[in-house]
Amino acid sequence: MKYMLGSFVLLAMLISGSYMAYAGAEAEPCKARVPADQMATAKAEKNAYIGNAAAVAEGKAIFEGKGTCFTCHGLGGHGDGDAGKALDPTPRNFGNAKFHDCKTDGEMLYVIRNGSPGTAMIPAVSTGILTEDEAKKVQAYERTFKGK
Ligand code: HEC
């Protein structure tokens, strides 16, 4: 009996240990996702839709609709959508002010266009899910999650 109890404890430890390893963590938000040779171009790019209420409203509809962004990033933008929970790294938490302070609009747009290698982030523009214009509107919407 004593022996059995010991193996149960060991089993429980193994299960919880592998679960911890399976549920990923958010990768460092300030690490560059844009290749070095394209970084200057990305940093120079501005998004004219930032702060434009009509474009932000369209971006919200894209985030919650055809862009499927909410499935991973969550409706509140905290990276806790159902499809994102088991991912490693986990989807970006757009409420994280640090992320907004260190990433330019162009760097975010690069990821929305091309994805983030080695992660589940979708290359939304290059795969035809979103147009260039839609990517800019959804990026403007993502900026509104800052600090929330
Ligand atoms: C299948 C899940 C999934 C979907 C759907 C998804 N994302 Fe992501 N996204 C991720 C993951 C995972 C990361 C974290 C990538 C990393 O750490 O490099 C991420 C990161 C990002 C980043 C931050 C990149 C950086 O510099 O750290 C942006 C911006 C982004 N996503 C925008 C979007 C937009 C816009 C959509 C909808 C068009 C979307 N995502 C849909 C999983 C997803």
In-domain check, residue 24: yes
| Ligand 1, atom 38: closest residue by C-alpha | 67
Nearest of 62, 120, 114 to residue 92 by alpha carbon: 120
The pLDDT of residue 24:
80
The pLDDT of residue 3:
61
**Quick check: 47 and 56 in contact, CB under 8 A?**
no
Structure tokens of 69? 């962004």
In-domain check, residue 126: yes
Q: What total of structural domains would you count in the chain?
A: 1
Q: Residue 85: give its domain's CATH number.
A: 1.10.760.10
In-domain check, residue 23: yes
The pLDDT of residue 5:
58
Residue 7 pLDDT grade (very low, low, confident, very high; cuts 50, 70, 90): low
Structure tokens of 36? 């070095």
Question: pLDDT at residue 136 above 80?
Answer: yes
CB atoms within 10 A of CB 84: 21
Question: Mean pLDDT across the stretch 21-40?
Answer: 88
Nearest of 92, 70, 68 to residue 81 by alpha carbon: 70
Question: pLDDT at residue 15 above 70?
Answer: no
Mean pLDDT, rounded, of the chain: 90
Residues in the ligand 1 pocket, defined by CB under 6 Å: 27, 29, 33, 67-69, 71-73, 83-84, 87, 89, 91-92, 103, 107-108, 111-112, 116, 119-122, 124, 130, 138, 142
Q: What is the pLDDT of residues 78-129, one digit of tens each?
A: 999 999 999 999 999 999 999 999 999 999 999 999 999 999 999 999 999 9
State which residues form the domain around 29: 2-143
